[in-house]
Amino acid sequence: MYLSLFGGIINLVLATLAVRGKIMVSLQLLTVFVGALIVVYALPGPDMALVMQTSMTRGVRHGLASAGGLALARAGHVTLSACGVAALLRAAPWLFETVRIAGALYLAWVAIQIWRSPAFGMEMTEAPTQAAVPLSHAVRRGVLSSVLNPKALLFCSVLLPQFIRAEAGPVWTQVLELGVLLLVVGAIFDVALAFGAARIARWLRTRPLAQKIQRWSFGAALMAFAVRLSLD
């Protein structure tokens, strides 16, 4: 199963990048890179909690929209890492602290909104309220959740150079290839989470107690991530 997943992802990336006629990063390095990404994306974190909570309360379309926001933020992280902004964050502690605190406050705010949200059944009966929530709201949440986490940017700046070889060709091309791969693997995980959470939500709709536990547990998880981000 995992070999098939590896092969499918690698083939997708190779097909995407084949327009250049040559892949700069070796297949062996790409495979190791995929393995590292799978481990990272499989770990529970604020991005995972956000996609699942959004999909469970607003539906799979909003869950996918939040996943799209995360993808935009990750693309920004790769770009900023390539431009050396991550090095600037490391060299300017006050800037890192500012972004870190802003990210912690935002995650705490999202957690409070989850705790204040109504049960699924109540939301389903309030069609005007549901319709009034645009997909752009979910996209914006996804972008802010990741952009305001400086550790995500630093992660890219630390991980990507490990798979770049100067003798393999232009560095920017290798960054592009690895960046596309990072986005593809992240999107696969987020889409799976969105659809999986939507299926769980259908089971929860007739179980008010389970809904309450779910809302408070997801809110508590995001609040815990906010506290951890503010203290690290």
Tell me, what's the pLDDT at 224?
A: 82
Maximum mean pLDDT: which of 34-48, 82-96, 110-124: 34-48
Residue 35 has pLDDT above 60, yes or no: yes
More confident residue, 194 or 46: 194
Mean pLDDT of the region 110-131: 56
Q: CB–CB of 60/134 below 8 Å?
A: no
More confident residue, 103 or 142: 142
Global confidence as pTM: 0.70
> Band of the pLDDT at 87, cuts 50, 70, 90?
low
Q: Which residue matches tokens 């990750």?
A: 74
Listed in sequence order, the residues at least 6 apart from 16 whose beta carbon sits closer than 8 Å to its beta carbon are 180, 184
DSSP per-residue string spanning 109-131: HHHHHHHHSPPHHHHHH-HHHHH
More confident residue, 110 or 76: 76
Residue 125 has pLDDT above 50, yes or no: no
Residue 84 has pLDDT above 80, yes or no: no
Domain-by-domain residue ranges, the chain? 49-231
Tell me, what's the pLDDT at 123?
A: 44
φ/ψ (deg, to 5) at 35? -60, -45
> Band of the pLDDT at 118, cuts 50, 70, 90?
low
Tell me, what's the pLDDT at 117?
A: 67
